[in-house]
Structure 1
């Protein structure tokens, strides 16, 4: 079997396309690169959607933390504190246990002439439950980044907005939010990189992979167990994540330049990758 045949058979196996059975033996480098790369699709899925949904929640939490209304500020502070103060792996475990306790048949909502059933069993699958955990976790960390940037907005910018007569939503949309993004973006880039790395924890969580459609680490462990040689599949996994990190740095760097396009080149903050060893 040629490498092109292997890619054709296993390239999209992690999402249910191609060969249903895993290779039984005669594992080549092409098998390992293809299947681990196929599993990376799920890591990208978790990272992209958690980052997308978390971005909007993080903005809302940052504004709530900066609010003078205690009914908005306190819940936001406690949400950020809980998810930043506890390990991500423990969050996976606890939220999985909570989702398992939900009724398997779902919730029945009587509507008079009929009854609406809201299914809950799908929440315990990795594609949904693990995504929820990552979404909540990155929202908490990003909210703290945005909150710090919001407090760091120069007073001159605020005074200039007031001088132009900007108030309320117009002031926030045209002055406060863009400035907050410019200040927060380098740190937010680090958070995005860490989030994609954290998607590997889904493999160790209680959320099951359906029909062996696992992530990159799932297939790396498969090859390590079958060949008794972890020094090939795990470096391949690391290689893929390095490529993913470089892609994120390039993409977020481009957005950073766009956010700072009106500033002289020397004043644009350069991104510095500072990996977080312990979170």
Structure 2
């Protein structure tokens, strides 16, 4: 089998397309790159969706923690402390065991039976844990940025009569994002790296359709040589990190486009007509 045939057979195997059986012997470098790259689809899936939904929950948690009402502040503080204080690896196991305790036949609510079997699948259960975990860490970042907004900005808004929702939308929220974005970029990178823990968690890989580390471990066990598949995983994550840095850097530049340091200087021709 040539390398192009290998790519055609295994490129989307982690999604259930292509060859059903994994190679058993005579492993080639192309097979390892292709299958591990196929598994990276799941790592990207976990990271993108957890980051997307976690961003909105993190904003709500940050606002709740900054609220003067204890009914909103205390639950947010407990949530953030719980998920920041416990290891992600333990959260995976506890979530899987808790979801396994749900009735197999589903839960009946108002005469409607809600299926629960899908919650123990990695695509749902592991994603839910990552979503809550990154929301807690990001909320603390946004909360710190919210508290760091210069008072002069808020006083200027009050002087112009901008209050309530308009002040938050036009002054507080954009400033909070600008201040928090560098730290939030690090959290996004950490989240994508944390998706490698899904393989070690209790959530099983359905029909050998695992993530990148699943296939890397398979090749390491079969070849007794971990120094080929694991560096390939690291290479894929490095490429993914560079992509994240580029995307988040462009967003950061957009958020700070009004600053003088980010404004492109225009060359003006001013001939000296009179000496």
TM superposition score normalised by structure 2: 0.94
**Match of 1:117, SS?**
strand
1:251-273 CA distances to partner (integer Å, 9 max, x unpaired)? Answer: 00000000000001279xxxxxx
User: Hey, what does 2:229 align to over in structure 1?
Assistant: 233
Runs of 4+ in 1 over 3 A off after TM superposition: none
Give 3-state SS (helix, strand or coil) of 2:105's partner: coil
CA distance in 1, matches of 2:59, 2:21: 44
Which consecutive residues of structure 1, in runs of 5 or more, have no partner in the other structure?
268-279
- 2:159 is matched with which residue: 148, 151, 163? 163
Aligned equivalents of 2:207, 2:142: Cα separation in 1: 39
How far apart, CA to CA, are the structure 2 residues paired with 1:242 and 1:216? 13
Q: Match of 1:199?
A: 195
Structure of higher CA gyration radius: 2
Matched residue, 1:140: 136
Query: In the alignment, what sits opposite 2:124?
Result: 128
CA contact under 8 A between 2:256 and 2:262: conserved in structure 1?
Answer: no
Q: Distance in 1 between matches of 2:198 and 2:153?
A: 43
Structure 1 residue 109 displacement after superposition: 2.1
CA distance in 2: counterparts of 1:266 and 1:151, whole angstroms: 25
Deviation at 1:163, TM superposition (A): 1.2
Q: Does 1:175 align with 2:171?
A: yes
Comparing 155-164 with 198-207, greater Cα deviation is found at: 155-164
Give the secondary structure class of the aligned counterpart of 2:119: helix
SS at match of 1:108: strand
After superposition, the CA RMSD in angstroms is 0.9
Work out whether 1:75 is the aligned partner of 2:75.
yes
